[in-house]
Amino acid sequence: MNKAAKKILTFFILIATISVAKAKEQKMLSIEKPLPALLTKKLILNSDLLNKVANEITAKDIVEKASKKISGIVSWYADKFHGKKTSSGELYDKEGLTAAHKTLPFGTKVKVTNTRNGKSVIVKVNDRGPHTKSRLMDLSRAAFSSIGSTSSGTLNVEMEIID
């Protein structure tokens, strides 16, 4: 393996590790535990190469590295948000099959499966959230009600990126 390939591999592993930690809502790096100075210097010196590699890493790659599916709790948007602008610029439609996620790129298609009854729905990420740390996603009312009852407020699900 040549020197450039080793640098790319090292960077990919670093990005995947950080992304997986974020996906699992764990804090691996912080002000108290910053990146080692040598690694930081290498990242800065090789920023052109790193930008090229970073642009090739997709949300699907990140989730595949973490595991095939991520489990968590989802909630649904209240009706008062219907017709309001989402973070992507689209208007929220309570009858659409959409979702909010903290980090997945807008337009990402995600299969969400209720772990209790096995029902699934495919949603498109078009907003940021949820703003509650313990939640994985916020689903539109239609998406949520297609896999469970809105009266429950939250559901335990498995999330799988499909596109």
Each residue's pLDDT tens digit, 43-95: 444 555 555 555 555 555 555 555 468 999 999 998 899 999 999 999 999 99
**Digit-coded pLDDT (tens) for 96-125:** 999 999 999 999 999 999 999 999 999 999
Nearest Cα residue to 77 out of 137, 120, 17, 37: 137
* Domain spans in the chain, listed from the N-terminal domain onward: 3-57, 70-161
Is residue 141 predicted with pLDDT exceeding 70?
Answer: yes
CA angle 127, 131, 134 (to 5 degrees): 120
Residue 163: the pLDDT is: 77
* Cβ-based neighbours of 96, under 8 Å, separated by 6 or more: 140, 142, 143
CATH 2.40.40.10 fits 70-161, yes or no: yes
Q: Which residue has the higher pLDDT, 52 or 159?
A: 159
Q: Which runs of E-coded beta strand occur in 35-106?
A: 70-76, 98-100
